[in-house]
Structure formats: C-alpha cells, structure tokens
Amino acid sequence: MQVIKKIGDLRVILGEYRKSGKRIGLVPTMGYFHEGHLSLIDAIRERVDIVVVSLFVNPAQFGPDEDLECYPRDFEQDEQMAKERGVDIIFYPDKDEIYPDPFFTYVATEDLSKVLCGTSRPIHFRGVTTIVAKLFNIVQPDIAVFGRKDAQQAIIIRKMVEDLNFPVEVVIAPIVRESDGLAMSSRNTYLSPKERKQAPIIYQSLKKAVEMVQRGEPDAGGVKHSIRQQIETAPLARIEYIEIVRERDLKPVKVIEPGTFVAVAVFFGKTRLIDNVVLK
C-alpha cells in the first residue's frame, strides 16, 4: 500500500494503472476508521482493480463553531487498518495541496443542501460537494462509494454527479451499526458513557417507525410524533429535527409513499448524531 500526499504523484501512478486497463475505485473519507469505513472499502474492492482511499479532514465542510480542530484523527491506526483491508493507495494530502490560497471556486447542489442538516449547517454540503468534485477530478475513479448513514450527503453527491456529468458510478453502502443499533460514526467517540448508553434510543425509535408503516400507518405526522415521544424518553437527548422526506428531492411528505425515508438529528450533549431508515 502506498501513501501519497501530492496530487501530481497520484496522477502519475493512477495514469499508469489506467493505461493498463485497470478500474479505479475511490473511498472518500475523513479518517479515524471504524467498521463503517471498512465496509465501504469492502464494497468497492470487489468491483475494481485499484482501491484508493482519500483521507482528508475537509475544513470547507465545517462551520465556524463546529468540531474541525478536535475532529478525531489517528493516521497510523488508519494506515494499518487500510493495509489490512487491502487498500492499494491512501491519498493523504495537506490542506494547502487541496485548497490553494486564495481559493474561490465552490460546487453547490443548491436546494438539496438547504434542508435537513443544511438548516443548521448552512455551508456544510457546499464543502462536501466541493471536495468530492475535486477528488473526482484528481483521482478520476470509475466508481466511488459513500455510506447511507449520511443519506442527505449521498443523495446530494448522486445529484451532483448527474447534474455535472461526472463519469463516476456512485455506490451507496448500507449503514453499519453497533450491536445495540447505534449507527457507527467517528463522532460517537465524543459521547460520555451516560450519553453513549442512551444514544441507541435513536435507532429504536426509527425501527418502531418502520413497524408502524408496515402495519399500515400512512400519516407522516403520526410517525414523526411517535419517534419524538420515544427519543424524548432519553433525558440527555435533544432533538434537532425529525423529517420524513422523498428520496428523490428531499421534500417532506404528509402521506408516506414509496421512496420516502425518515431522517433525524439528535444532540447528546455537544455531540450531534444523525441516522435514517427507509420507510417504504
């Protein structure tokens, strides 16, 4: 496995692979790997010849009061885990390599970025689409994989690829959960033991919502109310949003129709957790 820090070096190496007909897969990450990241690597390895994992904590997707400085990092551990999982190249650029100073050009998937998480994180998705567009241009992968945990991100990236004609197949891999149902996230490490104990209420409430819909409940308001009631049984939980939206445009629905999912954001202390399940 090679660790490459410079765009020029990466281009030379990948250019050679491409010339010899190899298919290239990209797993964009911000590091601090857990089983969720490793499942993305597994999902792509079987479809390509060369697996590139990018590891870059992207400042453009963090707001001024967010956790950029303290975002968890452990490059040596990530390197070891990636090697064991059969990654071929880790692209690990410095900030200056990615963002020349001054930097003026951003990519934004307008409306989809303003709802759900975009309400409280107004620049977040612009930062995500900008870095992902840059990574697509730098790596020129045949396939890239993203996790369904960040459903809004995955949907926005798919739309960006469609709207801007990136020749990249986007694969969305299922959420990986802890044994008690909590969706895996690098940010789970911020939770205190008490918060961690209560956090599985999120998935429990979502599972109950799926059951309600399977039993025939059509009313989005009723399902949201049930989720809220359950999450509020956890004293440390503070709900940011519970929304039932259409997969194709993230518009809220009143009646649960095929192609809708429920997405939630819940704070435990300062830690903001997100999760989602498909309802129909």
Minimum CB separation from ligand PAF for residue 146, in Å?
A: 6
Answer yes or no: are the C-beta atoms of 261 and 224 closer than 8 Å. Answer: no
User: DSSP characters for the chain?
Assistant: -EEE--HHHHHHHHHHHHHTT--EEEEEE-S---HHHHHHHHHHHTT-SEEEEEE---GGGS-TTSSTTTS---HHHHHHHHHHTT--EEE---HHHHS-SS-------TGGGTSTHHHH-TTHHHHHHHHHHHHHHHH--SEEEEEGGGHHHHHHHHHHHHHTT---EEEEEPP-B-TTSPBP-GGGGG--HHHHHHTTHHHHHHHHHHHHHHTT--BHHHHHHHHHHHHTTSTTEEEEEEEEEETTT--B-SB--TTEEEEEEEEETTEEEEEEEE--
For residue 225, indicate whether it is catalytic: no
Among 48, 128, 143, 170, the residue binding ligand PAF under the rule CB under 6 A is: 128
Residue 275 touching ligand PAF (CB under 6 A): no
Residue 144 touching ligand PAF (CB under 6 A): no
Minimum CB separation from ligand PAF for residue 37, in Å?
A: 8
**Which lies closer to ligand PAF via its Cβ, residue 61 or residue 230?**
61
Catalytic residue among 34, 37, 124, 225: 37
**Which lies closer to ligand PAF via its Cβ, residue 25 or residue 28?**
28
Residue 131 touching ligand PAF (CB under 6 A): yes
Minimum CB separation from ligand PAF for residue 29, in Å?
A: 5
Among 61, 152, 198, 230, the residue binding ligand PAF under the rule CB under 6 A is: 61
User: How many CB atoms sit inside 10 A of residue 107's CB?
Assistant: 18
Minimum CB separation from ligand PAF for residue 226, in Å?
A: 29
**Which lies closer to ligand PAF via its Cβ, residue 185 or residue 230?**
185
**Which lies closer to ligand PAF via its Cβ, residue 219 or residue 240?**
240
Binding mask 215-254 for ligand PAF (x = CB under 6 A): ----------------------------------------
Instruction: Give me the residues paired with residue 265 across strands.
Output: 241, 274
Among 39, 58, 109, 188, the residue binding ligand PAF under the rule CB under 6 A is: 58
Minimum CB separation from ligand PAF for residue 134, in Å?
A: 10
Minimum CB separation from ligand PAF for residue 55, in Å?
A: 9
Segment interacting with ligand PAF, rule: CB under 6 A, options 24-32, 109-117, 161-169, 201-209? 24-32
Which tokens is 38 given?
């490793």
Among 24, 29, 265, 268, the residue binding ligand PAF under the rule CB under 6 A is: 29
Opening angle at CA 230, ends 226 and 235, nearest 5 = 145
Among 78, 79, 142, 150, the residue binding ligand PAF under the rule CB under 6 A is: 150
CA 120 to chain centroid, in Å, comes to: 17
Answer yes or no: are the C-beta atoms of 182 and 162 closer than 8 Å. Answer: no
Residues that bind ligand PAF (CB under 6 A): 28-30, 58, 61, 128, 131-132, 150, 153
Residues taking part in catalysis: 37
